[in-house]
Structure 1
Amino acid sequence: MEPQRPPTPSAEPPATPQWVPTERDIADARITDFAGFVQARTGFQAPDYRALWQWSVDDLPGFWHALWDYFELGEIDGEVLVAPDMPGAQWFPGTKLNYTDQIVRQFRTDRPAIVALTEDAEPREVSWVELIDHTAAFARSLRELGVRPGDRVAGYLPNVPEAVIAFLATAALGAVWSACGQDYSAKAALDRLGQLEPVVLITADGYRFGGKAHDKREDIAALQAGLGSLRATIAVSRLGLEVPEAVPWADAVADTGNDAAVIETEAVDFDHPLWIVFSSGTTGLPKGIVHSHGGVVLEHLKAVALQSDIGPEDTFFWYTSPSWMMWNFQVAGLLVGATIVTYDGSPTHPAPDALWRMAAEVRATVLGTSPGYVLACIKAGAVPRAEHDLTALRTVGITGSALPPASALWLGSNIGDHVQVSSISGGTDVVSAFIGGVRTVPVWPGELSAPFLGAALDAYDPDGKPVRGEVGELVITRPMPSMPIRFWNDPDGSRYRDAYFDMFPGVWRHGDWIEITGHGSVVVHGRSDSTLNRHGIRMGSADIYQAVERLPEITEALVIGAEQPDGGYWMPLFVTLTAGTELTEELKSRINSTIRAEVSPRHVPDDIILAPGIPHTRTGKKLEVPIKKLFQGADPARVVERSAVDNPDLLDWYGGQRRR
């Protein structure tokens, strides 16, 4: 018998929205203006967002051409879309542009380009003059080092303005940017950057996190030794330490010109590589995912301006790291003239609500964080609206994993009912989102409001048939410009095809469980490759976490379902507890009762095990699949690359718990 689809969790979210746009919200939204532009251009009148989305996926060339013209990106030399099959679609062949040019167009003097926050100093403002001037000077320094179009420039940096400037200068030359945050070890950074043979390394002497200074000079030396292709290292001073064999950042940007708005940029093809971002790399070397100038410019203008409604009057603050695609996404705020905020410290230092305090201080209008941070604030008893002035805040963005309904409602009560909770879901693969909030669409707790324009999103059953009101595989049925142009070191494209097109040929399978609701929103149920399958009933792990992690004693949980050689199925739940809490039989009973009542009686775990911690990728995703493989007897050295794990020592503990 074919397994049934995952059931909808029994704990239904409220039927009424928690946030509804006002008439003023709708009238002022950038997406409303775009819809008017489309109507004037084509005669198509969209009565609502859903109709506009449908048009955007039915007429891909028409939509992306309209988007290009709406943002006045210049002349299009030829067709918009050639060979629309996946993989292999060709976008805007013959058309040239440069990402950095789009930033220069936004030049202004009335507000800063970047506000830099750290744990150890007052906020620092980087003006648009300084941003453009230093980008121009740094680009000249790279040229003097012989950097040419297609060369790779690597960053090993905290989230500081210098990282943004180095990226923009690299892009201006048509060179290719790739970066890791300094929380990565030298080995983890080499696993990624070493594949690219970079010619220049941009780094910093260290960073501060949680009140502690982290001297990174030893790791920098290991990188310099391991990257045989390097011509030079350029080092930012964060801790006042001298980095051997490195050019000081101040010297690299000293050659400033008199005209702040002049940067010599290289016009490149639409599909010329802009940056390489890496998969989590939990099994083997991380995959280098190559994105193009044109695909990123179009996708990010759409996602930032139309979907997120960010514009020139906004201050855009997303807690992130250069290792994570959300860093790239936040830089895109500069594409629309917004002020962006960089921060290289801990979101919980010196108190759990530190991120909200910083958002209040910089008057952030859009703040991005994760479900894990929200849950930590809930458990700490934080009430940000009572402690901080968040009246400027308009939107809270959420990504990284599914946001439970209870956490969404907490945000409304403790941040402000006027704030739109905009969960988004997509990935490094497209360096953007497929689904998220829209300023003209209501928000239902625990749900993502709508598919993004141009993303032909659907939910498929195992036979490749669309399903509604039940859970299916997240698929994209038509190409997007920001899909990877290729994987690095994948000459025949086989790794790329296997990653997305193995299950449904010609259709992108993303690897997430989603449910498309009757009112057009989307519920994300977790990764489909870590599905829990008990007695033929499948369930996403996110549903378990939403129930269990609400319990006050639980700080975090991890669940796996491991098929056994004898045909059995073992489903343990690992939990970490708050300080002073013990895993008593009463607490285990309460955990089981919660899962039985709120998720499914068939998914009550076989064992509840106290763990010293939950291992994650360095971008915060729980290591469900590698831990499952460990418990099925796989060789730990082949299951997971330790350098890709935030706390590698935990792998030894889980390996020692392997069920015999």
Structure 2
Amino acid sequence: MVREGEHLWSPRPEFVDRANITRYQRYLREQHGLSFTDYEALWRWSVEDVSRFWATIWDYFQVQASAPYQRVLSGAGMLGTKWFEGARLNYAEHLLRHEQVAAPGKTAFHHLTENRPLRQMSWQELGAQVRVLATQLRKLGLKPGDRVVSYMPNVPETAIAMMATVAIGAVWSSAAPEFGVKTVVERFTQIQPKLFFAADGYRFGGRDFSREDEVRQIAGALPSLEHIVWLPYLHPSPPPADLPDTVLWSQLMDHAPVPAADFAYEQVAHDHPLWVVFSSGTTGLPKAIVHGHAGALLEHLKVMHFHINLTPDSAMFFYSTTGWMMWNLVIAALLTGSAAVLYDGSPVHPQPDLLWKLAADTGATNFGASPTFVQMMEKAGLKPGETYDLSRLEAVLVAGSPSTPETFQWFYQAVKSDLWVTSQSGGTELCSAFVGASPTLPVYAGEIQCRLLGMDVRALSDDGQRELVDEVGELVAVKPFPSMPVHFWNDTDGKRYRESYFNVFEREGAPIWRHGDFIKINGRGGCFIYGRSDSTLNRHGVRIGTAEIYRAVEQVPEVADSLIVCVELPGGKFFMPLFVKLKDGAVLDAGIEKRIVERLRQDCSPRHVPDRIYAVNAVPYTLTGKKMEVPVRKLLLGMPLEKAASRDAMMNPDAIDYFVRFAQESKDYQWRAA
């Protein structure tokens, strides 16, 4: 078994030399007289001289703005910071900048769905469609600041709708069509949208799922709606007759092209709302997180160029739905001139290696998926590197949950040996990452390569008094960064925003960002994420990250998946049950339990051994693929389901029923709680 921190790969000198971040360092040396011996020195400068660093990002990428910024950074403290105040610009304008220089026919989007063959859309086609739609939205009366929402699959039409919305200064928000009515209504009612893009359904795993009834219910719950744009995705049929003020997508698009020279992007203030993205909402009303044009643009220019290393010759794929912020990042690939690969459907239908075939067919240079996807590949015994031509593939990006050393090792064994395998961790709150990758650094098993430029991330002790190295602590950001939320929608006094991130730790008397993850930063700057700190396992005063338990337990051959929680009980007692989903044909018996316990003792410690082990049919996940540890823990503490979790925010809602019954009926649990 590969060891955590074991060296797996180093970049070739030519790979380092042509990396975007290397060119940026040459620029700093030639234009600013700044030289750095290694990545760690560059990172340290970027977080010590915050204003100068972000000013160089603005200048290096020649950000287009109709009015210049007055100061890079203004305001006091992290909560009071304003970025590039005075600037007027437009995020969508930068997404389409490469249209003007792209060769005729050069691909902007590769797109595949279960009911459409693989196709391409050129930069010229994309720009033309965005301008037509933006012009028609203006004719419908949409103004800067109006909210536009979407309930559509991961297809070019959704991306075009987003770019057209942003181009006119309206505010975008998206929900994936697999979301239930309650989940969507909880999100969209908060922002009172004026226009609704809706598809008639989606296809997954070879089955069609009509969403006509859901669209009716959602529209009926949004009294602010003035227009619905209907996309007949499953069937070429008109919109339902009982949906008022509805126009077909094709009708909006059936207009003469608008030349680029004749189209004006709405120039908006630095902090004008770009989009509203929502937290998972598994344990309460989802947070409506607002990002601004300047902050998101500068962050995405940095991360897509320097940390994902995209160029106009790249093609980026990440398996995502339109309800996850990773979809926004895939579209942000356009900022680099890279093509984006869009896929909508099951990742394993009609064949388990479908996404690898897609990567080969599109010449993907960057491939992204979650650790759960890797588990599916391992279970199927796939070796895509032996089956497909992946010669253009340079990098793998793993995101969504903590990656294990075994996840990294699988790519080197099953895909190709010369591969930059990276892991990232961030969140919807920043629509980017805190820690991630650099193409100039080696890869070590299970280790996130670095803290991203401009992200002053530290690991703090419980009391916030000590900065930790080579120890697990709370992930905090101690300096502001441009893609911090501008605010939460309807949070007029900022109370919910403060309570979400700024109510635990202070530095020099001012609150700092507590993200809610456990992190370890080692001496060379590498990072390890150990799961959510609000789902901490605390045994005899020792904190245990759930990720290390999952890594050990899921090495047991019979175990397919697992979930663990620790419940504090009266009188200083606690109960730590482990729930395991076994592979087909396996039955939880004394032998399997013994192997699980021995593995935990051997790989972790006696404190990691659970009080009891239970077999379940499924582990509950959020819609973005995170194990629902906190809701399960709340159920076991006696909270009713309707307060502990929202079924509509779950990937597999039926999986929670076992835990509801367990909390009510388990004699083991009731005995310990007594």
TM-score normalised by the chain length of structure 2: 0.95
Which residue pairs with 1:8 in the alignment?
none
Q: Which residue of 1 aligns with 2:482?
A: 481
Letter in structure 2 aligned against 1:193? F
CA distance in 2, matches of 1:559, 1:263: 55
The 8 Å contact of residues 148 and 175 in structure 1, kept in 2 or not, is answered as yes
1:189 aligns with one of 184, 189, 195: 184
Q: CA deviation at 1:341?
A: 1.0
Q: Structure 1 CA distance, aligned partners of 2:347 and 2:248?
A: 29
Q: How does 1:219-618 map to 2 (within 5 A)?
A: 219-240=214-235, 241-244=237-240, 245=243, 246-257=246-257, 259=259, 262-464=262-464, 465-505=466-506, 506-618=511-623
In structure 1, what residue type is equivalent to 2:92? T
CA 1:35–1:252 in 2, change beyond 3 Å: closer, same or farther? same
Equivalent in 3, 17, 24 of residue 27 of structure 1: 17
Aligned pairs for 1:193-208 (under 5 A) are 193-208=188-203
CA distance in structure 2 between the partners assigned to 1:511 and 1:496 by the alignment:
14
Between the aligned partners of 2:44 and 2:16, the Cα distance in structure 1 is 19
**What secondary structure sits across from 2:47 in the alignment?**
helix
Is the contact made by 2:4 and 2:447 (CA closer than 8 Å) also made in structure 1?
Answer: no
SS of the counterpart of 1:195? coil
Q: Secondary structure at the match of 1:123?
A: strand
Shift of 1:311: 1.1
Deviations 1:306-334 (A, max 9, x none): 11110100011110011000000110011
* Contact persistence 1:177–1:274 (CA under 8 A): yes
Structure 1 equivalent of residue 59 of structure 2: 69
User: Per the alignment, in what secondary structure is the counterpart of residue 566 of structure 1?
Assistant: helix
**Does residue 115 of structure 1 match 2:110?**
yes
- Contact 2:105-2:124 at 8 Å conserved across structures: no
| Aligned residues of 1:500 and 1:509 also touching (Cα < 8 A) | yes
Residues 199-254 of structure 1, C-alpha deviations (whole Å, 9 max, x = no match): 00001111111111111111111111111111111122211143223311111111
Amino acid of the structure 1 residue aligned with 2:187: R
- Kept in 2: contact 1:136–1:256 (CA 8 A): no
Q: Deviations over 1:156-212 (max 9, x none)?
A: 011010110000000011110000000101221111112111000001111111111
Query: Of the candidates 142, 153, 156, which is equivalent to residue 158 of structure 1?
Result: 153
Letter of the structure 2 residue corresponding to residue 43 of structure 1 = G
1:172 paired residue number: 167
Q: Would you say the 8 A contact 2:2–2:445 is kept in 1?
A: no
Q: Give the superposition deviation at 1:264.
A: 2.4
Whole-Å separation in 2 of the counterparts to 1:478 and 1:12:
36
How many residues are aligned here? 650
2:578, 2:70 → 1: CA distance? 56
Q: Say whether the 8 Å CA contact 1:204–1:235 is kept in structure 2.
A: yes
Measure how far apart 1:79 and its partner are: 0.8
Alpha-carbon distance between aligned partners in 2 of 1:341 and 1:272, rounded to the nearest angstrom: 29
Which residue identity does 2:471 align to in structure 1?
Answer: E
| Residue 213 (str. 1) matches residue 208 (str. 2) | yes
Counterpart amino acid of residue 165 in structure 2: T
The Cα shift of 1:641 comes to 2.0
After superposition, the Cα gap between the structure-2 partners of 1:175 and 1:258, relative to the gap in structure 1 and judged at 3 Å, is: closer
Q: Match of 2:29?
A: 39
For 1:132 and 1:411, the matched residues in 2 are separated by 36
The superposition leaves residues 97-125 of structure 1 with CA deviations (integer Å, 9 ceiling, x where unpaired) of 10111122111224211111111231111
The aligned amino acid for 1:242 is P
Alignment partner, residue 93 of structure 1: 85
Q: Show the counterpart of 1:78.
A: 70
Q: Specify the SS of the correspondent of 2:491.
A: coil
Structure 2 letter corresponding to 1:149? P
Of 141, 146, 161, the match for 2:141:
146
Deviates more, 1:140-149 or 1:639-648: 639-648
State which of 92, 111, 124 in structure 1 corresponds to 2:119.
124
Rounded to whole Å, the distance in 2 between the matches of 1:632 and 1:488 is 31
Greater relative contact order (Cα < 8 A, sep 6+): 1
CA distance in structure 2 between the aligned counterparts of 1:576 and 1:261, rounded to whole angstroms: 58
Root mean square deviation of aligned Cα: 1.3
Following superposition, the deviation at residue 22 of structure 1 comes to: 1.3
Q: Give, in whole Å, the separation in 1 of the partners of 2:29 and 2:230.
A: 51
Local SS of the residue matching 2:396: strand
Residues 570/267 of structure 1: CA separation in 2 closer, same or farther (3 Å cut)? same
What is the distance in 2 between the residues matched to 1:120 and 1:322?
17
How far apart in 1 are the matches of 2:248 and 2:105? 30
1: distance between equivalents of 2:261 and 2:593? Answer: 63
Other structure's SS at 2:570 match: coil
- CA shift, 1:565, in A, is 2.2
Provide the rounded CA distance (Å) in 2 between the counterparts of 1:380 and 1:591.
23
Instruction: Give deviations 1:278-307, integer Å, cap 9, x for gaps.
Output: 000012210000000111110001000111
Structure 1 residue 650 displacement after superposition:
2.4
Conserved 8 A contact 1:379-1:552: no
Structure 1 unaligned residues grouped into runs of 5+: 1-10
**2:618 corresponds to which letter in structure 1?**
G
Structure 1 residue 127, shift from structure 2 partner: 1.3
Separation in 1, partners of 2:605, 2:2 = 12
Kept in 1: contact 2:64–2:94 (CA 8 A): no
Superposition deviation, residue 260 in structure 1: 5.1
Evaluate the alpha carbon distance shift between residue 223 and residue 310 of structure 1 in structure 2; reply closer, same or farther with a 3 A threshold. Answer: same
| 1:651 Cα deviation after fit | 2.3
**Deviation string for 1:455-511 (max 9, x for gaps)?**
001100012120001100011010001000001111110110111111113211101
Cα deviations across residues 499-535 of structure 1 (Å, max 9, x unaligned)?
1111113211101111111221001111111111111
- CA deviation after TM superposition for structure 1 residue 12, in Å: 8.1
State the distance in 1 between where 2:51 and 2:87 align: 14
For residues 152 and 616 of structure 1, the distance between their equivalents in structure 2, rounded to whole angstroms, comes to 29
Q: Judge conservation of contact 2:631–2:645 (CA < 8 Å) in 1.
A: yes
In structure 1, what is the Cα distance between the partners aligned to 2:590 and 2:139? 68
2:43 equivalent to 1:53 = yes
1:98–1:266 Cα contact (<8 Å) kept: yes
**1:208 partner amino acid:** R
Secondary structure, in 3 states, of the residue corresponding to 1:125? strand
Q: Distance in 2 between matches of 1:84 and 1:437?
A: 30
SS in 2 for 1:382: coil
Per-residue CA deviations over 1:527-565 (Å, capped at 9, x if unaligned) read 111111111111100111111123232111000000112
Instruction: Name 2:666's counterpart in structure 1.
Output: none
Distance 2:543 2:5 in 1: 24
CA–CA separation in structure 2 for the residues paired with 1:186 and 1:242: 22
CA distance in 2, matches of 1:351, 1:543: 31
CA–CA distance in structure 2, aligned partners of residues 282 and 160 of structure 1: 26
Unaligned runs of 5+ residues in structure 2 are 664-668
Cα deviation 1:406-435 (Å, max 9, x = unaligned) = 121111111111111110000001000011
Q: In 2, Cα distance between the equivalents of 1:193 and 1:211?
A: 29
Select between 241-250 and 343-352 the one with higher mean Cα deviation: 241-250
For 1:343, the aligned partner's letter is Y
1:605 maps to amino acid = P
Deviation at 1:342, TM superposition (A): 0.9
Which of 621, 634, 641 is 1:636 aligned to?
Answer: 641
